[in-house]
A and B are shown apart, each in its own frame.
Chain A
Amino acid sequence: MFCSLGEETPFVLWGLDPIFSAYARLYIRDILQMTESTQVPGVYFYNSHPIYKVDVLGIVVYKRERDDFFCYGVDDSTGVINCLCWKNDLLKEASLTGGTGGAQGGFDPVAEMRKLQRAQQSRCCVEIEELLRVRGSVKTTRQQREISASVFYKVDDPVMAVQISWMMEVPELYRQCYDKPLQLQSNTSDASVSSISKAATIIRDFLNQKSVAKFRPYDVQELLQPLILSQLKTTPGVQLLQLLKEALQTLQDEGFIYRKVKSQDEVYSVTGQDKELVIAVKDVIREDSKREKFAEKGCHVLHILSAVRQRYSLNLSKTALELVLKSLECNSDIISCSDSHYTML
């Protein structure tokens, strides 16, 4: 519905794309060429998939050290990208608090911890020529795309096993995930259905809360605005009216509301709040259950329906009547003799 080619997926739907919350193993060339989202900067689109974090493996071909971070140029044979790798505070501290701790021959957690940190540090100091794996979010600073690393480490790959398996895996990932169009397309009907039921719930809650008896569509139109805003803003008016129409239809089908008179003026009555309707139904049942024909078994729903239609409103739906009957029964005004027969107490 709103997922046509060339247009961005609305950001509310991004979470439905599993790739969005994963570190995408894209080729660096693709990371450099992805278009940035106009809705949320820092999110990029590859093939209509929203992506903000990536996972790359490549040879370091450029290195620059700053006080707080390393800047590595990583080459995966399709492109080269800068990776900002922040220096770990722990590592800095570790070198300062060196002298403490005494090894009593047994297991010394402090010493072990220091060993671990040293190992980590050695993994984080990467030189040109070495293989680096970086996971992080994609950024664009000064029109240059880069990866701000959340995790990075040197990969020992003396016989290229890691690189080879990576090279064989990535095309497969592309075929199975990244190059497949977003599956939302097939789900759009579900998405619109759920937005209708959401809209219906909003209207129902509002009507209940305010004990509204009668309303016109434009009275509740604004309630649905938040549902529309999150979607594309091309033709909000048309979309809003469509959603409203469908939501009202749902409520009508449920019997929650009905139109007493079908005319140009669209007035809806809330079934539960319509006192006159309740009285009319009660009258019909009271009068007719006295008749010999209904005295024993009570009045059938369809009989009540046709009688109320003649007496009160031609448009009353069966579901609306059933709603009234149910509430009358709950109040012990009437009782049901069978599944579909009612009589007065």
Chain B
Amino acid sequence: MLPPAAVYQFPWELNSGSEQEGDSVRTFGKWVTCLLTQYDPEKSLATLSTHHSSKHHCVIVHTLFVEPFDAVTGAQYIVLGELENIEGKSVGVMVRARVLNCVDGANIALLQRAINDQRRFLEERKPAVKGGD
């Protein structure tokens, strides 16, 4: 009955192919409407973008489950949902959002550090405690 846990993934990791279709993830990014896909309420598709090591990374978000909401261009959002592959286009993966929260003003650098801290900790004790990530 309960959905699986949504693990933190950085936007730039989603396109690397290490995640499988159907995995639950949570990630973040700036709301943009000018890249790749414009926010189109009929198609319920939006794009979150981040800048990481001098590259732009985009995550396409399917927003059907979280509508209606206020889209603020340029604001930070955090999205939680399942990964899906998009057929045809070579734009990588799409997240079908279950949760979409505006977190504009959040300290993203600190969030990254917190995510890394948590990961490192879970990684460190993996031999002792069995369990997937």
B111 touches A160 (CB 8 A): yes
Specify which of B101, B102, B115 is in contact with A167 (CB 8 Å cutoff). Answer: B115
Q: How far apart sit A321 and B8, CA to CA, in the bound complex (Å)?
A: 76
B8 contact set on A, CB distance < 8 A? 77
For A59, the closest partner residue in chain B by CB is B99
Assuming the contacts A30-B129, A159-B106, asked whether A75 and B80 have C-beta atoms less than 8 A apart, the reply is: yes
Q: Tell me if B114 counts as interface (CB < 8 A to partner A).
A: yes
For A82, the closest partner residue in chain B by CB is B2
Q: Tell me if B57 counts as interface (CB < 8 A to partner A).
A: no
Q: Tell me if B103 counts as interface (CB < 8 A to partner A).
A: yes
Q: Tell me if A79 counts as interface (CB < 8 A to partner B).
A: yes
Specify which of B4, B98, B105 is in contact with A158 (CB 8 Å cutoff). Answer: B105
Assuming the contacts A129-B99, A159-B103, A160-B78, asked whether A80 and B5 have C-beta atoms less than 8 A apart, the reply is: yes
A160 contact set on B, CB distance < 8 A? 78, 103, 106-107, 111
| A161 shortest CB reach to chain B, Å | 8
B6 touches A75 (CB 8 A): yes
B3 touches A174 (CB 8 A): no
| A128 shortest CB reach to chain B, Å | 7
Specify which of A61, A129, A168, A179 is in contact with B3 (CB 8 Å cutoff). Answer: A61
A167 contact set on B, CB distance < 8 A? 114-115, 117-118
| 8 Å CB interface, B74-133 against A | 78, 80, 98-107, 110-111, 113-115, 117-118, 120-122, 125, 129, 131
A170 contact set on B, CB distance < 8 A? 118
| B27 shortest CB reach to chain A, Å | 11
B4 touches A80 (CB 8 A): yes
User: What 0/1 readout, one digit per residue, does chain A (226-260) give for beta carbons within 8 Å of chain B?
Assistant: 00000000000000000000000000000000000
B125 contact set on A, CB distance < 8 A? 174, 179
| 8 Å CB interface, A142-164 against B | 158-161, 163-164
Q: Tell me if A28 counts as interface (CB < 8 A to partner B).
A: yes
A168 touches B100 (CB 8 A): no
| A46 shortest CB reach to chain B, Å | 9
B103 contact set on A, CB distance < 8 A? 158-160
Q: Tell me if B26 counts as interface (CB < 8 A to partner A).
A: yes
Q: Tell me if A73 counts as interface (CB < 8 A to partner B).
A: yes
Assuming the contacts A75-B80, A77-B26, asked whether A171 and B117 have C-beta atoms less than 8 A apart, the reply is: yes
A161 contact set on B, CB distance < 8 A? 106-107
B99 touches A168 (CB 8 A): no
Q: Tell me if A62 counts as interface (CB < 8 A to partner B).
A: yes
| A85 shortest CB reach to chain B, Å | 15
Interface size class on chain B is 35 or more
Q: Tell me if B34 counts as interface (CB < 8 A to partner A).
A: no
Assuming the contacts A62-B3, A80-B2, asked whether A171 and B118 have C-beta atoms less than 8 A apart, the reply is: yes
B105 contact set on A, CB distance < 8 A? 158-159
B80 touches A164 (CB 8 A): no
For A29, the closest partner residue in chain B by CB is B131
A27 contact set on B, CB distance < 8 A? 122
Q: Tell me if B66 counts as interface (CB < 8 A to partner A).
A: yes
A81 contact set on B, CB distance < 8 A? 2
Q: How far apart sit A80 and B99, CA to CA, in the bound complex (Å)?
A: 14
Q: How far apart sit A128 and B80, CA to CA, in the bound complex (Å)?
A: 11
A159 touches B107 (CB 8 A): yes
Q: How far apart sit A76 and B5, CA to CA, in the bound complex (Å)?
A: 7
A164 contact set on B, CB distance < 8 A? 106-107, 110-111, 114
User: What 0/1 readout, one digit per residue, does chain A (62-98) give for beta carbons within 8 Å of chain B?
Assistant: 1000000000010111111110000000000000000
B3 touches A80 (CB 8 A): yes
Q: How far apart sit A67 and B102, CA to CA, in the bound complex (Å)?
A: 32
| A302 shortest CB reach to chain B, Å | 61
User: What 0/1 readout, one digit per residue, does chain B (37-79) give for beta carbons within 8 Å of chain A?
Assistant: 0000000000000000000000000000010000000000010
In the complex, given contacts A30-B129, A158-B105, A170-B118, what are 19 additional A-B residue pairs having Cβ atoms less than 8 angstroms apart?
A61-B2, A61-B99, A62-B3, A75-B6, A76-B5, A77-B8, A79-B5, A80-B5, A129-B100, A158-B103, A159-B105, A159-B106, A163-B114, A164-B106, A164-B107, A164-B110, A167-B115, A168-B117, A175-B121
Question: Please, could you name 26 A-B residue pairs with CB atoms under 8 Å apart, sorted by A?
Answer: A29-B5, A30-B129, A61-B2, A61-B6, A62-B1, A62-B3, A73-B3, A77-B5, A77-B8, A80-B2, A80-B3, A80-B4, A129-B99, A129-B101, A158-B105, A159-B106, A160-B103, A161-B106, A161-B107, A164-B107, A167-B115, A167-B117, A168-B117, A171-B117, A171-B120, A179-B125
